[in-house]
Structure 1
Amino acid sequence: MKSSLALSLCFLAGGAQAFVGHVPVSQPRSPWGGFSSSSSVATRAAASVPAPRAERRTAGRVVVTKMGWGDDVVFSKAKVVETGKIAEGQYALTIDAGDIAKEYTAPGQYVQIKVTSSAKPGFFAIASPPDASSGSLEFLIKENDATKALVGVKAGGSVEVSTVMGKGFPIKENFTGYKYDFPVQNVVLSASGTGIAPFRAAIESGALELPDADDDGVFGRSCKLYWGCRDEESMPWKDRVEAWDKRGVEVVVVLSQPSESWTGRTGFVQQAIKEEGIPLPRNSAVLVCGHKEMAEEVKEIAEKAGVLDGRVLSNF
């Protein structure tokens, strides 16, 4: 399969900020080669709903605490197994989350992580596929003032992590069967920056149910990933592109500030998607994760093309 790609980043005040620009999108050969109720009734109904429960793990035992609406999120300590820089301004982080990992069941779910109990936590999508038996969770962290302490924690150190949050991408219920129309045949993934993380989980977990490279794909499901980065050096997991291709994912890389030697797409992912179009929109699905402006534009493109609302998905 052929590969190419796009993104929108603007570096301001020491951090990367997404913006919508008008950089022309070129189409040269890809450098990747082949790849009514009353208030009293409402009050009684609300009172009948049990408060959610959370587990607090301490010293080898689990303490179940009752967590009311609006209460603080429960955090537990987790050991840092591995950490390191894998692209310009981006770090990979692996933690031993213990039983918390069992709560991770769908790509697109996320957790909150902080270095100390008094620190402000950040939200991070889980990059590794769901695997309850491993106990570990992987993340892609963008280095900035808010995450400087987190990326500085060495292997063997510890962080505090929340329970797994969100429902993830509801792929199975919206892609398969006849809930909306014919089952999804074409999947479009639109990622920018660290938004690639939950898509790695979706691809490598097999949740997208794609035919592999040896399948002719006539009756299978196709998938195209539009992956936006600033330049070649800001692309994490470049070594996984070939494996994703073999899993049935055509990778289209789009760089907003490429080097002079770059021969792939330039500009932003939303421009590339608009230019190439969405095939058979009523039988297509679009998953989006990344900068707000990109996500809003891609959702608008999908809506105008005729993609069903229930098949335009995000994880937040």
Structure 2
Amino acid sequence: MSLVLSPPALSLSPHAHRSPPLPPMSILRHLKLHHHQRRRLATLAAAAVRQDTTVWTQAPLSVVEAAAESLFHVTVDLSDSPDLAASHTRAGQYLQLRVPDVEKPSFLAIASPPSLAESGGSFEFLVKSVAGSTAELLCGLKRGDVVELSQVMGKGFDTDRIDPPEDYPTVLIFATGSGISPIRSLIESGFSAAKRSDVRLYYGARNLKRMAYQDRFKEWESSGVKIVPVLSQPDEDWKGERGYVQAAFARAKQILNPISTGAVLCGQKQMAEEVTSILVADGVLSEKILKNF
């Protein structure tokens, strides 16, 4: 009698498990691509949602006129949009502006103080006309033309950080080119300049033809702000400061007490970075250096 043996049965413990077979590389690549596509779609969807949150308000222009070489005064009438006018609460805030038949907006700082929006129902801007830009198209419009404005954006200049004035008697202000726009809003909003002992505005431009708001200098000085114009390419008759704002300030400095000094900056990036470095090196606290972005 022959005995036939069956193959031994596999004995598996209750806790044993098998690893699933590894997928081919082509499947892995497909899964990775699929994951990447999902992330990209999610990013695009989020961007679309953010874009859709912009509320556009139509309003007519009431003023478009030359302010200086390549610079224009632009005023938008908000008498029919009181909510938008009321949303401007602090100097240094900005918004987006679109012109007819052009999708791409221009970001513009509001040059007028918040009080003008409240009492006069308008926003004023200082616009630099750059070839091929939305700003150039805006500067080519005329009174009565309708533009679109977004809601007011940004926190503006947080002047609470340099108050009360007796604790921060020195405030140094720096602006270049059209960066004077939100600085005008700050000065005309009032930040107790008359109660401070040393408030200086270093305002840089290529030459006097490119320097806006010269007609306001006397008014600003009467409010307690000393104006220091700095020209990088002046004519030979110019007797004032020459070169760049940061160099003019480095020559003067005269910071009596850095801990009780505040600063406000707006304009060309290199200027802002270099002035900040000079101020911090001299002991001015970085949180007392105000910017509107």
- Assess same fold via TM > 0.5: yes
Q: How far apart, in 2, do the equivalents of 1:177 and 1:203 lie?
A: 16
Matched-pair contact (CA < 8 Å) for 1:77–1:158: yes
Amino acid at match of 1:167: K
Residue 246 of structure 1 is matched in structure 2 by: 222
Residue 141 of structure 1 is matched in structure 2 by: 127
Matched-pair contact (CA < 8 Å) for 1:112–1:121: yes
Amino acid at match of 1:135: G
Residue 90 of structure 2 is matched in structure 1 by: 106
Give the C-alpha shift of residue 222 in structure 1. 2.5
Q: How far apart, in 1, do the equivalents of 2:125 and 2:51 lie?
A: 26
Q: 2:73 aligns with which of 89, 92, 104?
A: 92
The structure with the largest helix share of the pair is 2
Give the C-alpha shift of residue 71 in structure 1. 3.9
Give the C-alpha shift of residue 118 in structure 1. 3.9
Matched, 1:80 2:57: no
Amino acid at match of 1:133: S
For these two proteins, the number of residue pairs brought into alignment is 238
Amino acid at match of 1:255: L
Q: Quick check: which has more Rg, 1 or 2?
A: 2
Matched-pair contact (CA < 8 Å) for 1:209–1:221: no
Give the C-alpha shift of residue 302 in structure 1. 1.2
Q: Deviations over 1:125-168 (max 9, x none)?
A: 11111122321000000011212211011001111111100010
Q: Deviations over 1:175-197 (max 9, x none)?
A: 1259xxx8211000000000101
1:8-27 alignment runs, 5 A limit: none
The structure with the largest strand share of the pair is 1
Residue 189 of structure 1 is matched in structure 2 by: 173
Q: How far apart, in 2, do the equivalents of 1:143 and 1:221 lie?
A: 37
Q: 1:311 aligns with which of 282, 288, 293?
A: 288
Give the C-alpha shift of residue 68 in structure 1. 5.4
Identical aligned pairs, as a percentage?
Answer: 39
1:261-300 alignment runs, 5 A limit: 261-277=237-253, 278-300=255-277
Give the C-alpha shift of residue 96 in structure 1. 1.2
User: After TM superposition, what 4+ stretches of structure 1 lie above 6 angstroms from structure 2?
Assistant: none
Q: 1:164 aligns with which of 144, 149, 152?
A: 152
Structure 1 unaligned blocks of 5 or more = 1-66, 212-216
Give the C-alpha shift of residue 116 in structure 1. 2.5
Q: How far apart, in 2, do the equivalents of 1:130 and 1:87 lie?
A: 24
Amino acid at match of 2:141: V
Matched, 1:202 2:202: no
Give the C-alpha shift of residue 210 in structure 1. 1.6
Amino acid at match of 1:104: H
Structure 2 unaligned blocks of 5 or more = 1-47
Amino acid at match of 1:298: V
1:215-230 alignment runs, 5 A limit: 220-230=196-206
Matched residue SS, 1:271: helix
Q: How far apart, in 2, do the equivalents of 1:244 and 1:298 lie?
A: 22
Matched residue SS, 1:224: strand
Amino acid at match of 2:71: Q
Q: How far apart, in 2, do the equivalents of 1:86 and 1:69 lie?
A: 35
Residue 9 of structure 2 is matched in structure 1 by: none
1:119-130 alignment runs, 5 A limit: 119-130=103-114
Sort the Cα spacing of 1:149 and 1:118 in 2 relative to 1 into closer, same or farther, 3 A: closer
1:21-60 alignment runs, 5 A limit: none
Amino acid at match of 1:264: G
Instruction: Between the two structures, name the one with larger relative contact order (CA 8 Å, sep ≥ 6).
Output: 1
Matched residue SS, 1:133: helix
Matched-pair contact (CA < 8 Å) for 1:184–1:221: no
Give the C-alpha shift of residue 205 in structure 1. 1.3
